[in-house]
């Protein structure tokens, strides 16, 4: 089966600044594909190029086997989009937002009206169907935006940081909706900087920084490839003696503020050491995507 999206050497330059510096990837049908990257990595720019909203400086792009930008209209007809910042239409109620959005796809009014109840149920918004959009909470707006993205029964849904800024309850509801979409076989393209989100939802992901793809794989593959299996995080206490001990045992150490991160294969002797010193506060856990992410993109702040 041909890939849903095939991006080859995508470049976007703004004047002298390179926002996307030649990224290539393909997204198989039915996959939930994640783009994980800090702020400014070029995630949104990449999605906009796939939609034809941002002209690419170089590279080539085919979606559903059609070429961008020549077949832009036909491509967008089969995509649903959840943008990074909500852009619901404040002039309309909840149900009208779906109907009006349907009209942009050329879907006739009767068909659109028939689809609305199912989409509102999917988004848990049935009882808010007559509400004005500016009375909705952040989580409800996101759910409505997801419902809106499904109005054209898309083959590909692109979500740009769908849960950024939401509280944990709202985030979990969104995750369950996305999992339901995935179960139906809809191909998803998701950007995020939440590791938990990527680990839960994505079958495959790329880690992106400064316009480049640093690596690609399943969450497990990336963890295995880039970090040791176990992490001990020492959060308080005098770590000087422990540091020497850990180094002697071949651990890789990273200091971040007050915390010392110790990555290694076998933590048993280190834990034995830590248990003897009651002043040392520590956490022992398996390595995760976050460790991969920090290893690849560094620990400096991004704004």
Partner 1 sequence: MAADWSLPRPGRGALAVWRRNLRVWRKLLAPAVVLNFGEPTLYLLGLGFGLGAFIDTMSGMPYLVFLASGIIASSAMTTASFEATYSVFTRMQVQRTYEAMLATPLTLDDILAGELLWCATKATFSAAAILAVATLLGVVGGWQALWVLPLAFLIGLCFAGPALVMSAVSDNYDFFNYYFVLGVTPMLILSGVFYPIEGLPEGAQAAIQVLPLAHAIALTRPLVAGLPVNDVLLHVAVLVAYAAGGFHVALALTRRRLLV
Ligand X SMILES: Nc1ncnc2c1ncn2[C@@H]1O[C@H](COP(=O)(O)OP(=O)(O)O)[C@@H](O)[C@H]1O
Could you say which residues in the range 168-207 bind partner 1, by CB under 8 A? none
Q: Whole-number minimum distance, CB 57 to ligand X, in Å? A: 12
Could you tell which of Mg ion, partner 1, ligand X, none binds residue 42, using a CB distance below 5 to 8 A set by kind? ligand X
Question: According to the binding rule CB under 5 A, does residue 163 interact with Mg ion?
Answer: no
Q: Whole-number minimum distance, CB 291 to ligand X, in Å? A: 20
105 or 273, CB closer to partner 1? 105
Interface mask toward ligand X for 25-54; x: CB under 6 A: ------------x-xxxxxxx---------
Question: According to the binding rule CB under 6 A, does residue 178 interact with ligand X?
Answer: no
Task: Report, in angstroms and rounded to the nearest whole number, the Rg of the chain calculated over CA atoms.
Answer: 22
Q: Whole-number minimum distance, CB 117 to ligand X, in Å? A: 34
Q: In this chain, which stretch among 91-99, 203-211, 248-256, 279-287 interacts with partner 1, using CB under 8 A? A: 91-99
Question: According to the binding rule CB under 8 A, does residue 81 interact with partner 1?
Answer: yes
Does residue 11 contact residue 60 with C-beta atoms inside 8 Å? no
Question: According to the binding rule CB under 6 A, does residue 206 interact with ligand X?
Answer: no
Give the largest Cα separation in the chain, rounded. Answer: 73
Interface mask toward Mg ion for 37-56; x: CB under 5 A: ------xx------------
Q: Whole-number minimum distance, CB 245 to partner 1, in Å? A: 55
43 or 171, CB closer to ligand X? 43
Does residue 230 contact residue 267 with C-beta atoms inside 8 Å? yes
DSSP output for the chain: ---SEEEEEEEEEETTEEEEEEEEEEE-TT-EEEEE--TTSSHHHHHHHHHTSS--SEEEEEETTEEETTTHHHHHHTEEEE-SS----TTSBHHHHHHHHHHHTT--HHHHHHHHHHHHHHTT-GGGTTSBGGGS-HHHHHHHHHHHHTTT--SEEEEESTTTT--HHHHHHHHHHHHHHHHTT-EEEEEES-HHHHHHH-SEEEEEETTEEEEEE-HHHHHHHHS-SEEEEEEES--HHHHHHHHHTT-EEEEETTEEEEEES--HHHHHHHHT-TT-EEEEEE--HHHHHHHHH-SS---
Interface mask toward partner 1 for 149-168; x: CB under 8 A: ---x----------------
**Binding residue (CB under 8 A) for partner 1 from 51, 131, 195, 281:** 51
44 or 152, CB closer to ligand X? 44
Question: According to the binding rule CB under 8 A, does residue 255 interact with partner 1?
Answer: no
**In the complex, which residues of this chain contact Mg ion (CB under 5 A)?**
43-44, 84
**In the complex, which residues of this chain contact ligand X (CB under 6 A)?**
14, 17, 19, 37, 39-45
């Amino acid at each position: 089966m041909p890939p849903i999206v095939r991006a080859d050497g995508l470049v976007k330059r703004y004047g002298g600044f390179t926002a996307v510096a030649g990224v290539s990837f393909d997204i198989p049908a039915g996959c939930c594909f994640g783009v994980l990257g800090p702020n400014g990595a070029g995630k949104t720019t990449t999605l906009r190029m796939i939609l034809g909203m941002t002209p690419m400086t170089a590279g080539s792009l085919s979606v559903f086997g059609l070429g961008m930008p020549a077949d832009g209209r036909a491509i967008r007809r089969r995509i649903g989009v959840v943008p990074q910042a909500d852009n619901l239409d404040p002039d309309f109620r909840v149900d009208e937002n779906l109907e009006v959005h349907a009209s942009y796809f050329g879907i006739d009014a009767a068909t659109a009206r028939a689809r609305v109840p199912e989409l509102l149920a999917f988004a848990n918004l049935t009882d808010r169907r007559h509400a004005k959009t500016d009375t909705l909470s952040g989580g409800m707006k996101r759910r409505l935006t997801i419902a809106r993205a499904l109005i054209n029964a898309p083959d590909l849904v692109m979500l740009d940081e769908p849960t950024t800024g939401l509280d944990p309850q709202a985030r979990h509801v969104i995750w369950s909706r996305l999992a339901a979409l995935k179960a139906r076989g809809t191909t998803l393209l998701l950007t995020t900087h939440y590791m938990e989100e990527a680990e839960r939802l994505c079958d495959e992901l790329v880690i992106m920084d400064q316009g480049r793809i640093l690596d690609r794989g399943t969450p497990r593959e990336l963890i295995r490839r880039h970090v040791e299996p176990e992490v001990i995080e020492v959060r308080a206490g005098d770590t000087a003696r422990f540091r020497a001990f850990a180094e002697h045992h071949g651990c890789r150490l990273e200091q971040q503020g007050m915390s010392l991160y110790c990555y290694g294969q076998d933590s048993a002797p280190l834990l034995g050491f830590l248990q003897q010193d009651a002043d040392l506060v520590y956490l022992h856990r398996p390595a995760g995507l976050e460790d991969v992410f920090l290893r690849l993109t560094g620990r400096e702040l991004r704004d």
